[in-house]
Amino acid sequence: MSHCNSEQLDNWLDSWARWVQSEYGISCGGFKSPSFTQDFIQSNQTQHCIILNHEFEEGIDQAVNNLAIKDIKCAEVGRFEYGARRESYDGRYDKPPTIAVKAMRLAAFLIERGIIAPGSIIDKATYSNWLRKFRREMRKHLGLESVVLAA
């Protein structure tokens, strides 16, 4: 069994979110432009090729998309928490948002998408529970959580 602490998992999920926000991955829609799926780029100064490997991020993205099929709210909390959705962060603020602010933004996003009913509220406890479930699912996907089967 592989051991992974919360900080390592956070780093991997942050890396996934940065990849989603970059030019290489467009998550939550299953679309990747053909121009961004190349395996290498040519460096103008050295004439060397740099290998781009995003298999890890693609694997996490696939796991999040699979989770969205089972539980869209849980997947969206993960996307919001780690910044894979542009709507999750507003650069006008000096400090990172609190869980209450994130929950309000998530509720507005889910209402806009028709996932939850208008006027619904997501409280801090619900947000935290969905985030805990998201992290547990990602740990399972990455093989970091063992599954014990009863005999």
List beta partners, residue 26.
31
> 57, 15 in Cβ contact below 8 A?
yes
Residue matched to tokens 């400090």: 95
pLDDT tens track, the chain, 151 positions: 455 678 888 888 988 988 888 855 544 444 444 334 444 444 455 555 555 567 788 889 999 999 999 999 999 999 999 888 877 776 666 577 888 888 999 999 999 999 999 999 999 999 999 999 999 999 998 887 655 555 5
Closest CA to 144 of 120, 136, 133: 136
Provide the H-helix boundaries in 5-54: 6-21
Nearby residues of 37 by Cβ (< 8 Å), 6 or more positions away: none
User: Quick one: tokens of 8?
Assistant: 């390592």
Report the sign of the C-alpha dihedral through residues 108, 111, 116, 118, in that order.
positive
Alpha carbon distance 7, 149 (integer Å): 28
**CA-CA distances (angstroms) from residue 140 to 18, 82, 116?**
21, 18, 27
- Give pTM, 2 decimals: 0.73
